[in-house]
Structure 1
Amino acid sequence: MRYVAIGDSFTEGVGDEPTGPDIPRGWADLVAEGLAAAHDGIDYANLAVRGRLLQPIVTDQIDAALALDPLPTMVTLNGGGNDMLRTGDLTALVELTRAAVRRCRDAGIRVVLLAGADPSDRLPFGDTLRHRGEYLTNEIATIAQSEDVEFIDLFHDTEIRRAGYWSADRLHLNSVGHRRAASLILRGLGVPAQSPERPTAGADADGFVGNLRFTTEHLLPWVMRRLRKRSSGDERVAKYPIWISVAPAGIR
């Protein structure tokens, strides 16, 4: 098996940084390790970069995936989360996704579409974000059915919406959240996996102190980046742009 992960910060692993802020792990690495255990080792690439909109994901990253030698046998595709945080019509995202699915499928690659976890409970304008996420998730599910590819829906997993699965920025899963996402995805792929123990949120996670910290440390910097037309992924590259070998014992 040769598995390549395509997407944005969700797939890069932001929020799960056991060895430092510049080396995220995340659900895709954990899925690769689970697949390696089931298949006695696999090759793995992760082309995801935080902050990426869907357009560069389904062009630049798909191009890079199809340029890998040898070709992937499976690709997971998730994107659109950063587009949802902006205003604008989501219809174009649906057609971009459909075109990306067809490119990979026509190359003989197993395509797995993912709907990312829903962060809207504790974010500003959460109802609007959930509505947009519902629309995109439903449309992606329709694409999966019509194009005869697999679809794994984390958006409607109510457990992962609990505060204890999320980082302080309330937008990215934390280490436990990534472990839950990995377990759901592995099971969706037919690989047995255990869910992590249910976490508890910190005492100030949703109180005055927690909300103040979220606003000053995460929300305001995000707003300033938008005003400056900057992204958290500017100058960043994929963490595993070429094949690495993953043994049953995990990534080394």
Structure 2
Amino acid sequence: MSNPASAPPSPPLFASYVAIGDSFTEGVGDELADGTVRGWADLVALSLAFASTAPVRYANLAIRGRLLAPIVGGQLDAALAMTPELVSINGGGNDIMRPRVSIAQVADSLERAVDLAVDRGSHVVLASGANPTKHIPLGAFVEGRGERLAEAIRSRLPKDHVTFVDNWADAELAEAPFWSRDRLHLGPAGHARVASNVLAALGVPVAATPTASTGAQSPAGSAEPDAPRQRTAAYWREYVLPWIGRRVTGRSSGDDREPKIATLSPVDVSERR
């Protein structure tokens, strides 16, 4: 008979999970055949459901283009109203790409959001975004801000009931094969790798999916081999100029969009059992 004291601990399981954030958490770049997006948070929810003997419910309130204020405001309020056992928080990526930003204020807002969620009884995954700066215009400028934000967050941790997943420091994730055609959002392999990072930090096994099963490995070749290079006219015409146009007019790619999963819903694992 085995000694119970020597058995490995069971992974923490969560019966309800709500994700909040911007395009990174919504799943932009991991498009499915029907035109919807999946992303790392969906893959985390799937793995949580696989690891559990009871049903797991999941909501994703993230919306592309969102600045941090509405994420830690309306999104967080809606998330905590569902009293989830697990909340993932990411934000600030759009803020640091604006002409002016206070890194200290962004870090303060994230810390307050984390503390509020913990005070309300949730375990929190605080996930930093991946580093896109090798592949985008003005990358060095954005990287400097991103490094300062990452260091500000690291200096405030660890905290009880908080799991920090430092995707910004994942050097392999910064490489081109993990990114989508626009070079700003992760592709399917990148989202799978982030899911693997989160699940490893939580101690939960990765559920096998076409990309999640290999997400921890560097994919062979670029996920978007025909993507225009960032210094070409085609790239600027397709991605950069529309982005600048939205900034100038005060619009966002997420305007008039609703959350893709607005309420806690059962995670369907029947096809993968």
| TM-score (structure 1 length as normaliser) | 0.91
The 8 Å contact of residues 90 and 136 in structure 1, kept in 2 or not, is answered as yes
Counterpart position of 2:59: 45
- Flag the 1:19–1:103 CA change in 2: closer, same or farther, 3 A: same
1:105 corresponds, among 118, 124, 128, to 118
Structure 2 counterpart of 1:57: 71
Question: Do structure 1's residue 182 and structure 2's residue 195 form an aligned pair?
Answer: yes
* Cα distance in 1 for residues equivalent to 2:111 and 2:28: 26
Distance 2:201 2:214 in 1: 13
How do 1:148-227 and structure 2 match up within 5 A? 149-193=162-206, 194-196=213-215, 197=217, 198-201=219-222, 205=227, 207=229, 211-227=232-248
Please list the CA deviations of residues 96-138 of structure 1 after superposition, one character each: whole Å capped at 9, or x if unmatched: 1111111111111101111111000011111111111111112
What is the one-letter code of the residue matched to 1:77? I
Q: Percent identity?
A: 45
Structure 2 contact 182–227 (Cα < 8 Å) conserved: no
Instruction: Tell me, in whole angstroms, the C-alpha distance in 2 between the residues paired with 1:42 and 1:148.
Output: 20
SS at match of 2:116: helix
Tell me the SS of whatever aligns to 2:95: helix
Q: CA separation in 2, counterparts of 1:127 and 1:153? A: 19
Residue identity matched to 2:234: R
1:110-121 maps to which residues of 2 (within 5 A)?
A: 110-121=123-134
Where relative contact order (Cα < 8 A, 6+ residues apart) is larger, the structure is: 1
Deviation at 1:94, TM superposition (A): 1.1
Q: CA deviation at 1:207?
A: 4.8
Correspondence 1:88-103 to 2 at 5 A: 88-103=101-116
Q: Secondary structure at the match of 1:129?
A: helix
Q: CA deviation at 1:146?
A: 4.8
Match in the other structure for 1:16 = 30
Maintained 8 Å contact 1:113/1:149: yes
2:138 to 113, 117, 125: 125
What residue in structure 2 maps to residue 82 of structure 1? 94
User: Which whole-Å CA distance do the structure 2 matches of 1:144 and 1:61 have between them?
Assistant: 23
The residue type equivalent to 1:181 in the other structure is V
What are the Cα deviations for residues 152-205 of structure 1, in whole angstroms up to 9, with x where unaligned? Answer: 111111111111111111110111111111111111111123433513125555
Match of 1:243 in 2: 264
- Measured after TM superposition, the shift of residue 212 of structure 1 is 3.0
3-state SS in 1 of match to 2:76: helix
Separation in 1, partners of 2:155, 2:162: 10
Gaps of 5+ in 2: 1-14, 207-212
State how far apart, in whole Å, the 1-side matches of 2:271 and 2:41 are.
12
Q: Is the 8 A contact 1:47 1:241 kept in 2?
A: yes
Shift of 1:30: 0.6
Change (3 A) 1:244 1:214: same
Q: Output the CA distance in 1 between the equivalents of 2:77 and 2:151.
A: 26
CA RMSD after TM alignment = 1.9
Deviation at 1:85, TM superposition (A): 0.7
In the alignment, the residues of structure 2 paired with residue 189 and residue 2 of structure 1 have an alpha-carbon distance, to the nearest angstrom, of 14
AA in 2 matched with 1:124:
P
Distance 2:175 2:193 in 1: 12
- Greater Rg, structure 1 or structure 2? 2
